[in-house]
Structure formats: structure tokens, C-alpha cells
Chain A
Amino acid sequence: MTIGTVAGGRMMMVVHGWLEKIRDINRKYATPRITMSRTVKFVLLMLRLYLIVLVILLGYKFWTMLQ
């Protein structure tokens, strides 16, 4: 077994460990604790739309910089 194979194996284990940790976090916080009232849903929807608009603007700026 070469040093490269051992290092690669360890790297894979670390990455696997991290992915498992992220899955754990996603499972732990799968259900939002806050009651999803109509107001909360509306506010979160607005926030999503706001972020989408900002991402489009950032993308447009990036595209114009490349031109």
C-alpha cells in the first residue's frame, strides 16, 4: 500500500465523517420549531424572493464584468 493510497483513504474517511455530520444536523433541524403561521410563511416567502432578486443582480453584474 503506497503513502498516496493511505492518505487518500484517510481523506475519504474525513470527507465521509463531515458528510455524516451534515446529515445529522439536517435530521436534527428537519422540522422548524417556530409555528408556521400565515405571517411567518409570507415573511419567509418575501425573504426568498428578495434573495433571488439579489442573486440575479449579482449574476448580471458578474456577467457584465466578463463582457
Chain B
Amino acid sequence: MDFGSTFFYKYRRFIKALKIYLILAGPGIIVMLADNDAGGITTYAVTGAKFGYGLIWFLLLLLPVAYIVQEMTVRLGAVTKRGHAEAIFDAFGSFWGWFSFLDLALVNWLTLITEFIGMTAALSIFHIPPVITIILVSIIMMLMVLQGRYWTWEKIAILFAALNLIYIPAAFLVHPSVGEVLSVGLVPHFPGGFNGTLFFFLMANIGTTIAPWMIFFQQSAVVDKGMREKDIPWGQMDTLIGSAFTVIVAIFVVVVTGTVLFGSEIESAAQAASIMMGINPWLGTFIAIGLFDAGFLGAICISLASSWAFGEVFGWAHSLNLKIREAPWFYACYLFALVTAGIVVLLPNAPLVLITLFVQVIAVTLLPAALVFLILLLNNEEIMGKYKNTTLQNIMGSAIVIGIIILSTLYGITTLFPNLLV
């Protein structure tokens, strides 16, 4: 075969593989970019303002962490054709099933409130009143699910996920010194020495990388998409690309705030956007749009994760491929979560700061259980067959799970008792 024929053959193979990937891509990219939700963006923004580029190397370490955990949900979903909530009920009985399900419902609802807080704060920079934001967002979110096809929902969600990349052009607007970003950011070190504050930020960044809803969401999305065992490699690639994107976005947020706000005491991404609006309106606009999009992405995934879990546990029809009359309870759960979370945000004197802190603590009660169940399920040959974890996957998975459990627990405890690390 001559060079031209070989090139054409390889080109055709690549195009074919790309087409298959584009059909099967979705859950991994969406869940990973939604991982950079309003809370996540705030964590990265504050990290950049506090430590400059000093913790970029640490964010890079989070790529394999996110991938290894989420990849397991792809295999579990594709093999069992069940969401995580149903899988826990089935494998571990009703006690652990109810515990996980009720904890998930609570933590998801509270997280949804924090996403609404992020979205309203972002749009208030453009003088849009919170009530308008919440009504508009709720309408868009309902329209996204009511069109009756998982595929359509997924592609719209990917468009919103792509908007998460707005932090990349934002970073170019602030003209960071690339040499400094690389020399300071990529060399592992603890800026200012290892102390309580730094440890808190490391824990916060890990805490925002893996959230309980992500495990439930991706597994249910894999099932609703109809992925089968043969699609697992594509799902793995989707998750890997998503993990890379989530870390890239996190790094660019840190670069933006590390360049413009280094040394400033900021408390949220919305505050960062407000300050940047005064420095460069384009920059402030980009950051605010990014924050709104982050909250929106988080909200669409979290509310769906809850609705899927309700459907799985109660045996209701639960698929985005079904019309509202075919799965009324599924859509009712979705609407209920949206409306009640929106109302809480609009309530005058609602304890929103307390809710934001409470989310982290409640998430800590669910995350270890969800991760431990994931590892146990992935090791069960009867359930997983030849797709069960290999020894290497178990070593890496268990090490990561133990690390996440320890750090997220410490994070939760220091949130409860802030003076512990000082």
C-alpha cells in the first residue's frame, strides 16, 4: 500500500472513530464540566486570589483522581443498566439504600440552592433581579427536559458545558506571565509553607473535585443513554476528556484571579467578577457569565441526579426519553426540586451562608458511603463479570477513595469547627 492509500485509510478510520465518539460522548464531559459548578468556581477563584499560581500543580493531580472515580460509574452503569441508588439498594439492602437515597436527596437539594445562589449573584452583576434569574433558569431547565429525548438534552447540556471554557479567553485578557505560571505553578510546593489555611484550601479543592451527586448522575446518565458493555471504552475516553477539561478550566480560573487579585481577600467568584468589572468590563463579564454557566450546569445535573434516583428507588418510569405523561413522577420530582430551591433563595433572610456551609458537611456524610459502595460493587464478580476492577484499578481506586474520605472528612469537620486548624 502506498503512502496516499495508507493515509486515506487511517483518515477514514479516524473519522469513523470520531463519529462513534461524538455519538457516545456526553455523560463524562457533562458531569466533569458540571463539577466546576458555582461552588467549584468560587473555590478556584479564592484559591487563585490567596495563593496565586502556587497550587496549579495540585489541581493537575486532581485529573487522575476525578477520572479513576468517575470511570467506575461508567462500567457499573453500562454493565448493570442500573443507577447508583438502585444498585446500592440491590446490593447492600434497604438500610444502606435508604440512607444513601435520603442523604442524596437532601444534599442535592441543598447544593441546588447553592447553584441558584451562584446564578443570581452572577446575573446581579448585570443588574438582573434574582427573581427574574430564578424564573428564567427554571423555565429553561424545564424546557430542556420536556422535549422528550435524552439525546437532545445531552447536546444542549454539552453546549452549556462548552461555555464553561469561557475562563480560557478570560485568562488571555489578563496577560499572565506564561513563564511565571509554568515556573511557579508546575513545581510542587506549598506557598507560604504548610499551614492550617493552606491545608483547608487543599481539602476544599479536593472536596469540589468529587461530589456525591457526580457518582449518581454519571451512572444514571450512562443507563439513560443506553450505553452497553461494548461502549465502555468510549465512555472511559469521554470521562478522561471531561476530567482534562475540568482541570483546565480550574487552572484558568486560578490564573485569572492569581494574576489580577493575588493577595486580595475575596470570598466568592461573584465578588471577584464585581471587582474585575471595575478593572476590565470584558473580564468581569466573562467571569460573571462563567459563574452563571457553572451554576446552571450544576443545577441541571444535580436536579436530574435526584429525579433519576427517585425513579430508580420507587420504580417509577425515569428517563428523559419519556414524555411527561409517561413519566409524570420523574418530571414532578425535577420541577419540585427546582421550585423549592428557587423559593428558598428568594426568601428574605434565608440562611444562605449557613446552607452553603451545611452542604459541605452533609456531603461528607454521603461521599464516603457512595465511594465505598462503588469500590465494593466494582469488585463483585457476580455483578460485574469480566468488567470488575483489576488489582491495579483496586490499588489506585482504594488509595484515592481513602484519601478523599480522609480529606473531605477533615474539610467537613473544619467547616463545622473553623478554629480547629488555626
Contacts and interface: CB of A to CB of B under 8 A. Distances in A.
B386 to A, nearest CB: 18
Interface in B340-386: 361, 364-365, 368-369, 372, 376-377, 380, 382-383
A44 B92 contact: yes
Contact of B97 (A29, A58, A61): A29
A34 B416 contact: no
B81 to A, nearest CB: 15
A65 B314 CA distance: 37
A61 B417 contact: yes
- Interface range on chain B: under 10, 10 to 19, 20 to 34, or 35 or more? 20 to 34
25 contacts: A21-B314, A25-B313, A25-B315, A26-B94, A29-B93, A30-B93, A30-B94, A32-B91, A34-B91, A34-B92, A34-B376, A34-B377, A34-B383, A35-B382, A40-B376, A43-B376, A44-B96, A47-B369, A47-B372, A50-B368, A50-B409, A51-B99, A55-B365, A57-B416, A61-B417
A31 B97 CA distance: 12
B416 A58 contact: yes
Contacts of B22: none
Contacts of B365: 51, 54-55
A33 interface: yes
A interface secondary structure, majority: helix
A61 B416 contact: yes
A51 B361 CA distance: 12
B89 interface: yes
B419 to A, nearest CB: 12
B91 A33 contact: yes
Contacts of B376: 34, 40, 43
Nearest to A27: B94
A58 B358 CA distance: 10
Contacts of B94: 25-26, 29-30
A45 to B, nearest CB: 11
Contacts of A40: 376
Contacts of A61: 416-417
Interface of A: 21, 25-26, 28-35, 40, 43-44, 47, 50-51, 54-55, 57-58, 61
Interface of B: 89-94, 96-97, 99, 313-315, 361, 364-365, 368-369, 372, 376-377, 380, 382-383, 409, 412-413, 416-417
A30 to B, nearest CB: 7
Nearest to A21: B314
A33 B93 CA distance: 7
Contacts of B413: 57
A29 B314 contact: no
B293 to A, nearest CB: 33
Contacts of A55: 365
A32 B313 contact: no
Contact of A54 (B364, B382, B383): B364
A41 to B, nearest CB: 11
A50 B380 CA distance: 23
Contacts of B412: 54
B62 to A, nearest CB: 23
List the 3 closest A-B pairs by CB distance, nearest first.
A32-B93, A34-B91, A29-B94
Contacts of B314: 21, 25
Contacts of B416: 57-58, 61
A25 B90 CA distance: 10
A43 B377 contact: no
Contacts of B380: 34-35
Nearest to B88: A29
Contact of A33 (B90, B315, B369): B90
A28 to B, nearest CB: 8
Contacts of A58: 361, 416
Contacts of A31: 93
Contacts of A32: 91-93
Contacts of A47: 368-369, 372
Contacts of A50: 368, 409
Nearest to A64: B417
A55 B412 CA distance: 12
B156 to A, nearest CB: 33
A29 B89 contact: yes
Q: Which of A25, A29, A55 has the most CB of B within 10 A?
A: A29
B378 to A, nearest CB: 11
B110 to A, nearest CB: 14
